[in-house]
């Protein structure tokens, strides 16, 4: 019988996952899998001890991008070599969306029970890892500023509302980027360094991004006037690639160093990260993730 630790966030998204717990256990029991629930806390310093005592065959992270981020970091920092599954139940579930996990839970649970995995790259900033995105600049801290009550009531729309309110305040900053030895200088508003093509609930932001190619994709919005910025926003919201837009800088590389003339704090998978300057490295095929065959 396969043993799985289910690390679930009781407050992510609409805080509704707790009501699905019995269904999850039932579905895995049907597949001859034992579920060992772990309720995440504000701090999960002893999670690695729980995992080692449970001796599972895999870990499932149930929550939003922040929950997945924390589980990935705990696994990496404590040398736990176990595959990770994802049940997206947060306000934003970008990595799960990219993998189409939430499209068909029956098929995904089958894949977990069968042990179907895929090696996935990670990004690393100092001692911290991210699985999907690192960012900094205007609007990138919205996830920390939107009240939980608003996020639970409006979901992803809460982020868009907050972002629209920031547009009149946008001021360009100077950035310097070193990417695999190449150097770039530009005036812009924000940048994202992505592992997958889904960012901030937007699909195909970087269609060429791959989660197992040993590289990350850097995208920045260059300085422009309001109509030009609105065009970028329209392309993003409509699900179209923005890589050909002249106000987008796109760089693909395995490592980046980013500095700015502004005092900026980074964001890693929706969680507060370190202040710039930012040094980002790709860790190729760092974790195994349960995926469809």
Q: Specify the number of domains making up the chain.
A: 2
87 vs 25: CA distance, rounded Å = 13
138: burial class by Cβ within 10 Å (0-12, 13-18, 19+)?
buried
Residue 124 lies in a domain: no
Residues 64 and 178 in one domain: no
Residue-wise pLDDT tens digits, 233-242 = 777 766 677 7
Predicted pLDDT of residue 10: 85
Full domain range(s) for residue 99: 2-115
Tell me, yes or no, whether 28 and 98 share the same domain.
yes
Asked, for residue 121, whether it belongs to a domain, the answer is no
What's the CA gap between 59 and 229, in Å, rounded?
A: 41
- Residues 199 and 228 placed together within one structural domain of the fold: yes
Residue 84 placed within a domain: yes
pLDDT tens digits for 164-198? 445 556 788 999 999 999 999 999 988 999 999 98
Domain termination site, one of 86, 115, 144: 115
The pLDDT score that the predictor gives to residue 162 is: 46
The tens digit of pLDDT for each residue in 75-93 reads: 999 999 999 999 988 777 8
Judgement on whether residues 141 and 98 belong to the same structural domain of the protein = no
The model's confidence at residue 11, banded by pLDDT at 50, 70 and 90, is: confident
Answer whether 75's CB lies under 8 Å from 286's CB.
no
pLDDT confidence band for 14 (50 / 70 / 90): low
- Point out the domain boundary residue: 91, 115, 139: 115
In the prediction, which pLDDT does 242 show? 78
Tell me whether residue 120 is in a domain.
no
Residue 291 lies in a domain: no
Q: What percent of the chain has pLDDT over 70?
A: 87
Query: Quick one: pLDDT at residue 156?
Result: 43
At residue 160, the pLDDT reads 41
Over residues 25-43, the mean pLDDT reads: 94
- Per-residue pLDDT tens digits for 248-286: 999 999 999 999 999 999 999 988 899 999 999 999 999
Residue 216 to residue 209: CA distance in whole angstroms: 7
- The verdict on 7 and 98 lying in the same domain is yes
Q: Are residues 108 and 134 in the same domain?
A: no
Residues 151, 12 share a domain: no
Same domain, 94 and 135: no
* C-alpha to C-alpha distance for 227 and 213, rounded to whole angstroms: 35
Mean pLDDT of the chain: 86
169 and 104 housed in the same domain: no
Residue 104 resides in a domain:
yes
Q: Where are the alpha helices (DSSP H) in 121-188?
A: 142-145, 148-154, 157-166
Is residue 2 very low, low, confident or very high in pLDDT (cuts 50, 70, 90)? very high
Mean pLDDT on 194-219: 89
Q: What is the pTM of this model?
A: 0.87
For the segment 41-52, the average pLDDT, to the nearest whole number, is 91
**Whether residue 162 sits in one domain with residue 95:** no
Output the pLDDT for position 239.
67
pLDDT at 149: 46
Same domain? 86 vs 174: no
- Residue where one domain finishes, among candidates 115, 141, 168: 115
- Go through 161-183 and write b for each residue having 16 or more CB atoms within 10 A of its CB, e for each that does not: ebbeeeeeebebbebebbbeeee
Write the CATH number for 270.
2.60.200.40
pLDDT at 140: 58
Q: What pLDDT score was predicted for residue 152?
A: 45
Same domain, 88 and 151: no
Question: Mean pLDDT, to the nearest integer, of 133-137?
Answer: 92
Q: How many CB atoms lie within 10 A of CB 204?
A: 18
């Amino acid at each position: 019988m396969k043993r799985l630790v289910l690390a679930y966030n009781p407050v992510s998204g609409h805080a509704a996952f707790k009501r699905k717990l019995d269904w999850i256990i039932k579905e895995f029991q049907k597949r001859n899998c034992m579920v060992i629930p772990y309720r995440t806390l504000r701090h999960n310093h002893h999670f690695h001890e729980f995992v080692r005592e449970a001796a599972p065959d895999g870990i499932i992270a149930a929550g939003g991008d922040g929950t997945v981020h924390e589980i990935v970091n705990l696994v990496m920092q404590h040398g736990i070599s176990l595959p990770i599954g994802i049940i997206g139940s947060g306000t934003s579930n970008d990595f799960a969306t990219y993998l189409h996990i939430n499209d068909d839970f029956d098929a995904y649970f089958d894949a977990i029970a069968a042990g179907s995995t895929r090696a996935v790259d990670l990004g690393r900033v100092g001692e911290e890892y991210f699985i999907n995105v690192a960012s900094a600049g205007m609007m990138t801290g919205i996830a920390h500023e939107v009240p939980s009550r608003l996020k639970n009531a409006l979901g992803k729309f809460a982020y868009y509302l907050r972002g629209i309110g920031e547009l009149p305040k946008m001021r360009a900053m100077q950035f310097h980027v070193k990417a695999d030895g190449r150097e770039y200088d530009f005036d812009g508003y924000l940048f994202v360094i992505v592992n997958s093509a889904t960012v901030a609930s937007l699909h195909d932001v970087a269609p060429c991004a791959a989660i197992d190619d040993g590289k990350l994709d850097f995208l920045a919005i260059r300085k422009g006037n309001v109509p030009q910025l609105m065009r970028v926003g329209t392309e993003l919201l409509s699900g179209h690639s923005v890589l050909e837009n002249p106000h987008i800088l796109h760089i693909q590389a395995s490592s980046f160093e980013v500095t700015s003339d502004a005092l900026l704090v980074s964001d890693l998978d929706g969680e507060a990260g370190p202040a710039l300057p930012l040094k980002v490295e790709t860790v190729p095929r760092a974790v195994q993730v349960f995926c469809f065959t």
